[in-house]
Amino acid sequence: MTAGGHETASHQPAENGKRVAVIGGGITGLSAAQRLISADPTAEVVIFEASERFGGIIRTEQADGFLMELGPDSFITNKPGGIQLCDDVGFADQLIPTDGEFRRSLVLRNGKPQLVPEGFMLMAPAKPWAIATTPVLSVAGKIRLLREAFVRPKPNPDEDESLADFVRRRFGRQALDRLVQPLVGGIYTSDPEKLSLKATLPRFIEMEQKYGSVIRATLAEQRQKKGRTESDSGSGARYGLFATPRSGLGSLVDRVVALLQESDRVTLRSNLKVSGLSRSPATGGEADPSWQVSLPGVPDEIFDAVILTLPTYKAADLLNDESFADLARALRGIEYASSAVVVTTHRLSDFRHALDAFGLVVPAIENRKVLAVSFTSRKFPGRAPAGHVLLRTFVGGAMQPELLENSDTEITEFVHQELSAMLGMTASPGFSQVVRHQRAMPQYYVGHGAKVAEIERLSAMCRGLHLAGSAYFGVGLPDSIASGRSAADRVQRDT
């Protein structure tokens, strides 16, 4: 194997096995490469990564006893991708679950943090008595939410509906504004009026259709589970189902990269930004799937297949030949939102609030400048020294893009003000870092399924080209990993 950019490689397709280019060295590309070499004993893989490091959005840093995630911090385990990758690279024993002691979340109500009602999972209220007693909703709001059990299902379930329309129709406006928008918005950094329920949380459509109501479905599921040990008790986002490597997600990236480096069939090339992708003129033609990867400053390279893992607008830029115009246009049809994560370290005694939860979500109607605050060192052990706390505050997203026009200093300042106002922070953080994620979160708007189907139809006409990443069938790490693995399997099947 070779690492580092700017070396010349073969210009000919591999004679025995397939020669495959993986474009993008984030978790999708790494997972695709890992799957390719383990599933196909003859495949030869080159990974092209524009930056100096692999992992993409995943970035873990350590300083002064704090372990800081600058991108994602964990992944859900009820989707198989993350666990499968860890199993395949012998990393499953490194995974740790969330800490049971603080497994609850808070939501801001009139400027004050309140507990999300126990058992309330995104929008499934598993414990009706917890809804009846919560200070988060008014009496009218509670009655309307619980009346969901008697609201008739939608007659045309196949029609795409926004999250906001679904929740208003079934649970009422207050449940949307006060609970579902902040809980779901925190995951997708999205506008619930535009977010497609079918593309993001289809489980709730199934619940409505199968049981006539989400509440009745939740209670029925609970009865079925009774007697079994529940790992997902708590409230808010489904924290009990989340896991992360003990030493941070960066250690999983390191593990995959190390295994790829050990293989003599893999070449990892960093600091090399692919500038174009076209059918090979040497061997080209509809029947021939050879692809030419254009690289700045070094000769172009020819491959039998390409796995393209970039955000769709960057993938479209590479497909700049007129013959790909329709596919490029369809790829550009998926919108992205930007956000910033502000990582801060503190002494616990510098807060009036006990921070005895996994985090705080902030409803848009509270008109604050932050989307959510994750109390990261309360979620997972080993993230902060004793007596200290590590916070990650989320800013921007599809609903407040203008906040990212501020400088890092301005963002840091208003985040500190918000932490003081909402959580009683009494002293400045020991350390603050703003990490911007520019156009990093794909927005699954109403009609997303149809857009993806069109992209699939058009890309199927480009034999040997396989798209993967968080833009298509799920935004999280397990979905991205699964999409990379599935692209690798398609390459192998494609003869």
In three-state secondary structure terms, 284 is coil
- The answer to whether the beta carbons of residues 237 and 171 sit under 8 Å apart is no
Q: Which stretch binds ligand FAD (CB under 6 A): 45-53, 177-185, 214-222, 411-419?
A: 45-53
Tokens of 332: 């550009």
Residue 132's φ and ψ, nearest 5 degrees, are -60, -30
Could you tell me which stretch among 70-78, 89-97, 133-141, 165-173 binds ligand FAD (CB under 6 A)? 70-78
**Per-residue mark of binding to ligand FAD, 8-37 (x: CB under 6 A):** ---------------xxxxxxx--------
Only one of the segments 52-60, 110-118, 156-164, 405-413 lies at the binding site for ligand FAD (rule: CB under 6 A); that segment is 52-60
Kindly identify the residues of this chain, within the stretch 403-462, that bind ligand FAD according to CB under 6 A: 437, 440-441
**Residue 50 is a binding residue for ligand FAD (CB under 6 A):** yes
Shortest separation between residue 142's beta carbon and ligand FAD, angstroms: 31
**Which candidate, 131, 112, 134, places its Cα nearest to that of 123?**
131
By CB under 6 A, the residues from 346 to 385 that bind ligand FAD are none
Q: State the virtual CA torsion across 400, 404, 409, 410 in degrees, nearest 10.
A: -40
Taking the least distance from each CB to ligand FAD, the nearer of 404 and 477 is 477
**Kind and range of the H or E run holding 312:** helix 312-318
Which member of 34, 339, 376, 377 binds ligand FAD (CB under 6 A)? 339
Q: Does 74 bind ligand FAD (CB under 6 A)?
A: yes
- Applying CB under 6 A, which of residues 19, 20, 33, 49 lies at the interface with ligand FAD? 49
- Select from 78, 20, 90 the least CA-distant residue to 256: 90
- Kindly tell me which of 422 and 477 has the beta carbon lying closer to ligand FAD: 477
Stretch near ligand FAD under the rule CB under 6 A, chosen from 42-50, 135-143, 280-288, 375-383: 42-50
Q: Rule CB under 6 A: is residue 274 a binding residue for ligand FAD?
A: yes
* Binding of ligand FAD by 475 (CB under 6 A): yes
For residue 119, state whether it binds ligand FAD (rule: CB under 6 A): no
- Please tell me whether residue 201 binds ligand FAD under the rule CB under 6 A: no
Stretch that binds ligand FAD, among 123-131, 146-154, 419-427, 467-475 (CB under 6 A): 467-475
Decide: is 333 part of the binding site for ligand FAD (CB under 6 A). no
Task: Say which amino acid occupies 284.
Answer: G
273 binds ligand FAD (CB under 6 A): yes
To ligand FAD, the closest distance from the beta carbon of 160 in angstroms equals 22
* Residue type for position 401: P
The residue to which tokens 């372990």 are assigned: 67
**How many residues at the interface with ligand FAD, by CB under 6 A?**
35
Instruction: Give least dist CB 470 to ligand FAD, A.
Output: 4
> What does the DSSP assignment read for 193-257?
TTBBHHHH-HHHHHHHHHHSSHHHHHHHHHHHHTTSPPS--SSBS-GGGEEEETT-HHHHHHHHH
> Among 476, 487, 488, 492, which residue interacts with ligand FAD (rule: CB under 6 A)?
476
- Nearest 5°: the CA angle 218, 220, 221 is 65
Distance between CA atoms of 100 and 239, rounded to whole angstroms?
Answer: 9
Closest approach of Cβ 347 to ligand FAD, in Å?
Answer: 25
Report the run of H or E that residue 307 belongs to, with start and end.
Answer: strand 305-308
- Report the residue number, 54 or 66, with the smaller CB distance to ligand FAD: 54
Tell me the closest approach of the beta carbon of residue 218 to ligand FAD, in angstroms: 23
Yes or no: say if 395 and 369 are a contact pair by the CB < 8 Å rule: yes
Cα→Cα distances 134→9, 129, 145, Å: 63, 9, 12
In the block, residue with structure tokens 């009218």: 140
Contacts of 351 (CB under 8 A, 6+ apart): 389, 423, 424, 425, 426
Q: How many helices (H) and strands (E) does the chain have?
A: 17, 22
Considering only residues 135 through 154, tell me which ones interact with ligand FAD, judged by CB under 6 A. Answer: none
Contact map string, positions 294 to 313, toward ligand FAD, x by CB under 6 A: ---------------xx---
Which residues partner with 75 through β-bridges? 243
Burial letters 159-195, b for 16+ CB under 10 A, else e: ebbbbbbbbbbbbbebbbbbbbbbbbbbbbbbbbebb
Asked if 75 touches ligand FAD (CB under 6 A), the answer is: yes
Piece of 11-19, 125-133, 278-286, 469-477 that binds ligand FAD (CB under 6 A)? 469-477
Q: Cβ 394 to ligand FAD, closest distance in Å?
A: 7
CB nearer ligand FAD, residue 176 or residue 481:
481
How many of the other CB atoms lie within 10 Å of CB of 322? 6
51 interacts with ligand FAD by CB under 6 A? yes
Give 58-105 as a DSSP string.
--EEEETTEEEESS---EESSSHHHHHHHHHTT-GGGEEE--GGG--E
Closest CB to ligand FAD among residues 108, 316 = 316
Q: Given the complex with ligand FAD, which of 235 and 270 has the nearer CB atom?
A: 270
Identify which of residues 136 and 277 has a Cβ nearer to ligand FAD in the complex: 277
Identify whether the C-beta of residue 402 lies closer than 8 Å to the C-beta of residue 318: no
Q: Under the rule (CB under 6 A), what is the footprint of ligand FAD?
A: 23-29, 48-51, 56-58, 71-75, 273-274, 309-310, 314, 339, 341, 437, 440-441, 469-470, 475-477, 480
